[in-house]
Amino acid sequence: MKRSAGLIYTDIYNTYPDVPYVGVYKIRQPALLIRDPEIIKAILIKDFHSFEKNDIVVDENVDSIASKNPFLQYGERWKTSRSQLSYCFTSGKMKHLFPLMHAVSVHMVEYIENEAKLGGNPMDTKELAGKFTCDNVATCAFGIDGKSFVDPNSEFRKVGKRILEPSFSLTMKMLFILLFPECTAFLKIKFICDDVVDYFRNVIKTTLNYRKENHLVRNDFLDVITQMKLKPDDPPLQDDDITAHAISFFADGFETSSIALSFALYNLAANLSVQEKLRNEINEVIRKNGGTVSYESIQNMNYLDCVLSESLRIHSPAFALVKLCTEDYCLPPCSKSGLEVKVERGTPVIIPVHGLHLDAKYFPDPEKFIPERFSDDNKAHIIKGSYLPFGEGGRICIGMKFAILQIKVAIIAIVRHFDIRVNEKTKEPLVIDPNHFLIFAKDGIWLDYQKRNN
């Protein structure tokens, strides 16, 4: 593929700078690409009820596990799933999970140190980030050690890679699911293979039995989700619901977070003054906290928040949000004719996140990495609807707090202990891989990690 669908959406966005929306075709189906943040805000927030469905079709008779994923649900089933999962992602739950994340970050630092001693520089930073998020999700969701940093043949890591990592088969599968949804049921195409589902079923069953026999309570994802099963006032939670929610947690927490982390590290390595400023903030906050990192101390790292926000602007893991109009809707006039445009029920509506994030109208010098855009003084001026790394409104990413926290934990550990530099093996400027529906650097991100004498 020369251009992915996401990059094509960006091309269309840039081709028509003076209109609020553009008519396009998804193969044979008419669709609308929305350029105007005000209209985007209406679609995602004010008139959410008219666009509550994501434009992905899953036949529950073919793929019963994927059909229980909140991202793929709508209506009452979506409301129920989102309500169930929201308990897992409160600030209080994140505070409980922080020590588990921190322990994984310690293993990561040890791994980088050992690799450097063995001549491991430069390191494939997407692979490093994937090891971290894989082990993080393993411990926070399932209460097990993923062993990605000690075992190159880690079973958990291998299974994780099969869910969303780039491959020809995954690309073809996603093309069919996104562009020919009517064919997926006939061809029995599934998001996740049966053997992967069976693996997670077995992990969950083994873990829950062990905890029951040993009277263990861990306050992690599995604990929270299984406690819901016992609540008489909630809709009954079946074993397949637990499996589906656990796989959703893994897929969402593993791949997209590792993408975001790898690009954040690249941006720090490519902007040394930013890296040093961030390191100074991290060290100062930790010093005030008695020399340790805590959940509370991370909340005081304002520049870290700016750095991550800016990295997510330039390299948001998802190129676009694609909604489905669920009831006839009128858009404001597109031209001087003054005529409203009717969006018919069933029409896909594309929100080109990548194009918006790199639009100089909303972010001057959009290709430059400037974390100060998101300082307290400046972020109030960001136009709502122009910055959407996690979506917005009722469908905003439910795991956003978890993703942000685990990425920050990893960045803190690496920046504290290492100077990071872009290795010449990294081809700059970065070229986005056209063969995947998420954002990947075509030839990888290769960084050098030099231990600091703290």
Residues of the binding site for heme: 397
- List residues forming the annotated binding site: 397
Q: How far apart are CA 410 and CA 102, in angstroms?
A: 8
Could you tell me which of 136, 118, 134, 122 has the C-alpha nearest to residue 420? 122
Q: Got the DSSP string for 372-432?
A: GGGSTTTGGGSPTTS--BTB-GGGS-TTHHHHHHHHHHHHHHHHHHEEEEE-TTS-SS--B
Q: How far apart are CA 40 and CA 392, in angstroms?
A: 9
Q: How far apart are CA 138 and CA 403, in angstroms?
A: 14
Q: How far apart are CA 177 and CA 180, in angstroms?
A: 6
Q: How far apart are CA 235 and CA 443, in angstroms?
A: 47
Q: How far apart are CA 357 and CA 313, in angstroms?
A: 5
Neighbours of 390 (CB within 10 A): 20
Q: Which residues pair with 330 in a beta bridge?
A: 342
Q: Are 395 and 258 in contact (CB under 8 A)?
A: no
